[in-house]
Chains A and B, each alone.
Chain A
């Protein structure tokens, strides 16, 4: 078997295009994913024109001064602003594809907000080249404008609360540099109560005064609820999210597991299916199994070759990804276990494919056609499709090694769920596909 393994490695060495693909493919994937993750999709470049530059961006609401420029900076939490000098320049940058979109703050924003007659309006320009991009831009900017609106609402509500408190309890109020003493309902009630005591009992004036005192008391009591009401107006819906299933893996960490699982699948499947089919294509199979190598031994050799090569390449890939994202190197033995067992399961599937096909091209094509939809199926989230279809998808995903490999890698990399379950699942699939591959070899003779 050792000589067969050396032979296959020699053949691989003399297939530079294939080797280049096998080595470059995961490196390119690692670099692309790492680059994408390190930049972060939540920070797209957006041209930003501030029409308020050079003029006052402060509005006064209820006597409080709100700096719009400061509040507007919240928009930059989600975008990487590219500052431009005019609205036209911003739009041109969008047309040229230099930026994802343009955000224009008009010159009259502060005036409109101050007038309270109409809301302040910011303008957004973007290319809707495809529905996904359009939705992404709309959602990103809307979410950020919503955040800025929420912050402004809180500020306004806070001012309103202070005014209501002034009406309720009274005190000093400053407006346009002038200070006023506001009586307030509480103090008015005290004055009225004292005045009432000096009126004769049963007099019509006393009865009238009683009504005014009762109204003042009622108004003050109701105003005491206003802080809760205004708090609700500022943030009418709060979100309390609880994950029922799955771990707390971040998108970045999951993307690493996904990239490695996809590479592991492609490399192992193609190598296992291709090298087995090659024995038939070169007519060497019958000669080999005439007592030189057992059929099972041949399968073990191909599985070992494919799994060994793919694990090595995926480890290189993870080192590459490690340059961009934080990986817990203390969990390296678990990565290795997940990679090795996943690779064996994919290799067994590859052997079944290689055993069913007559030549390398057919084996490669079948491997591609099979693994791509399976990978997509494994990523369909619950609730995205009808329940019956989702159950079917889960069943199909469970029969192939991609989903359990992804689960195993996610568990090994990110401590998301147990590792034992996916590894046992993969071991069972390895045995099942290995047996299928052994049966398929009957077609070879």
Chain B
């Protein structure tokens, strides 16, 4: 799949923390505008995989074979300064990202995140959902080809989640590759084009949600039940 349409590809990634192996020879690739969900039980290695793709950690083995022009990183916890306003946070990171026109970039992000009216509010006063949108907007400041999201909707209520996914889908709609780790299997089913299932650091599945259902081979189960059945079938 490492063709001109691939924006990010990794091969045989291995990461160890002391005696524990967090990732075992995991490979993946994603194309422009593709939504890739990384799912799995706790401790599966989802965050480790994303942090290696983001360049925060280096793999012990394996490599990134296709590097995108830019990778936006959105950690699980909003990485924002609560004492600064929405606009100030965006400006700070726009300047640190050396955006050629920080004012225009910030304006674009305020529009994209639909937070224009809250631009002068301190981040500490925002709801969890709005904070996460600022968090994602900062990840997009450098107009990356790939956006990595770690549990983007965790701790959000259903309405906030829906608004957040509208935002993410808009990004994918304009060609941004979105790779997200989630515990929410329904979100993976609903939004992902590609599904990567990890358990104990091992990649158990790489395909679409429908392909996963077909692999389980059960009928009448919803996706979450099919996923649990899949894990049981693989000894997890």
Tell me if chain B binds chain A. yes
The contact string, 1 if C-beta is below 8 Å from chain B, for chain A 1-24, is 001100100110011000000000
List the one stretch of B54-62, B214-222, B226-234 in contact with chain A.
Answer: B54-62
Alpha-carbon gap, A128 to B51, bound state (A) = 67
Q: Taking A3-B92, A3-B96 as contacts, is the C-beta distance between A282 and B56 under 8 angstroms?
A: no
- Complex: chain A residue closest to B56, CB-CB: A286
**In the complex, how many angstroms separate the beta carbon of A283 from the nearest chain B beta carbon?**
4
Q: Taking A7-B92, A10-B88, A283-B75 as contacts, is the C-beta distance between A291 and B83 under 8 angstroms?
A: no
**In the complex, how many angstroms separate the beta carbon of A291 from the nearest chain B beta carbon?**
7
B28 at the interface (CB under 8 A from A): no
B84 at the interface (CB under 8 A from A): yes
Alpha-carbon gap, A15 to B75, bound state (A) = 26
A290 touches B82 (CB 8 A): no
Alpha-carbon gap, A288 to B80, bound state (A) = 11
A-side contacts of B84, CB under 8 Å: 7, 10-11, 14
Alpha-carbon gap, A62 to B39, bound state (A) = 110
The contact string, 1 if C-beta is below 8 Å from chain A, for chain B 194-224, is 0000000000000000000000000000000
B-side contacts of A43, CB under 8 Å: none
Q: Taking A291-B55, A292-B97, A445-B57 as contacts, is the C-beta distance between A286 and B92 under 8 angstroms?
A: no
B-side contacts of A287, CB under 8 Å: 73, 75, 79, 93, 138
Classify the interface of chain B: helix, strand, loop or mixed: loop
B73 touches A284 (CB 8 A): no
The contact string, 1 if C-beta is below 8 Å from chain A, for chain B 50-87, is 01001111000000000000000101011111111000
B-side contacts of A289, CB under 8 Å: 56
B79 touches A282 (CB 8 A): yes
A284 touches B81 (CB 8 A): yes
A-side contacts of B95, CB under 8 Å: 3
Choose one: B54, B77, B81, B82; the contact of A7 (CB below 8 Å).
B81
A293 at the interface (CB under 8 A from B): yes
**In the complex, how many angstroms separate the beta carbon of A443 from the nearest chain B beta carbon?**
13
Q: Taking A3-B96, A7-B92, A287-B75 as contacts, is the C-beta distance between A14 and B55 under 8 angstroms?
A: no
Count chain B CB atoms within 10 A of each CB in A4, A7, A292, A445 and give the residue with the most. Answer: A7
A-side contacts of B81, CB under 8 Å: 7, 11, 282, 284
A-side contacts of B54, CB under 8 Å: 290
**In the complex, how many angstroms separate the beta carbon of A92 from the nearest chain B beta carbon?**
56
**In the complex, how many angstroms separate the beta carbon of B33 from the nearest chain A beta carbon?**
23
A-side contacts of B55, CB under 8 Å: 290-291
Alpha-carbon gap, A15 to B88, bound state (A) = 16
The contact string, 1 if C-beta is below 8 Å from chain B, for chain A 287-327, is 11111110000000000000000000000000000000000
A-side contacts of B51, CB under 8 Å: 286
Alpha-carbon gap, A171 to B55, bound state (A) = 109
Alpha-carbon gap, A289 to B57, bound state (A) = 11
Alpha-carbon gap, A283 to B135, bound state (A) = 11
- Complex: chain B residue closest to A7, CB-CB: B92
Size category, B interface = 20 to 34
Size category, A interface = 10 to 19
Alpha-carbon gap, A268 to B57, bound state (A) = 32
**In the complex, how many angstroms separate the beta carbon of A292 from the nearest chain B beta carbon?**
4
A-side contacts of B138, CB under 8 Å: 287
A284 touches B83 (CB 8 A): no
B-side contacts of A14, CB under 8 Å: 83-84, 122
A11 touches B83 (CB 8 A): yes
Alpha-carbon gap, A4 to B84, bound state (A) = 12
- Complex: chain A residue closest to B98, CB-CB: A292
**In the complex, how many angstroms separate the beta carbon of A204 from the nearest chain B beta carbon?**
117
B-side contacts of A286, CB under 8 Å: 51, 56, 73, 75, 79
B-side contacts of A3, CB under 8 Å: 92, 95-96
Question: Which residues of B146-174 are within 8 A (CB) of A?
Answer: none
- Complex: chain A residue closest to B122, CB-CB: A14
- Complex: chain B residue closest to A289, CB-CB: B56
A283 touches B92 (CB 8 A): no
A-side contacts of B122, CB under 8 Å: 14
Alpha-carbon gap, A330 to B82, bound state (A) = 45
Alpha-carbon gap, A3 to B92, bound state (A) = 7
B-side contacts of A292, CB under 8 Å: 93, 96-97
Question: Which residues of A28-48 are within 8 A (CB) of B?
Answer: none
B-side contacts of A284, CB under 8 Å: 79-81
A282 touches B80 (CB 8 A): yes
The contact string, 1 if C-beta is below 8 Å from chain B, for chain A 255-283, is 00000000000000000000000000011
**In the complex, how many angstroms separate the beta carbon of B22 from the nearest chain A beta carbon?**
14
A-side contacts of B56, CB under 8 Å: 286, 289-290, 445
Alpha-carbon gap, A286 to B84, bound state (A) = 18
- Complex: chain A residue closest to B71, CB-CB: A290
A290 touches B80 (CB 8 A): no
Alpha-carbon gap, A101 to B93, bound state (A) = 65
**In the complex, how many angstroms separate the beta carbon of A414 from the nearest chain B beta carbon?**
41
**In the complex, how many angstroms separate the beta carbon of B121 from the nearest chain A beta carbon?**
13
Interface positions of A (Cβ within 8 A of B): 3-4, 7, 10-11, 14-15, 282-284, 286-293, 445
Known: A10-B84, A283-B78. 11 other contacts (CB 8 A): A3-B96, A4-B92, A7-B81, A10-B88, A11-B83, A14-B83, A15-B83, A286-B79, A287-B138, A288-B96, A291-B55
Interface positions of B (Cβ within 8 A of A): 51, 54-57, 73, 75, 77-84, 88, 92-93, 95-97, 122, 138
- Give me 6 A-to-B residue pairs in the complex whose CB atoms sit less than 8 angstroms apart, sorted by A's number: A3-B92, A10-B83, A11-B81, A11-B84, A282-B79, A283-B75
Closest 3 CB pairs of A and B: A283-B79, A292-B96, A283-B77
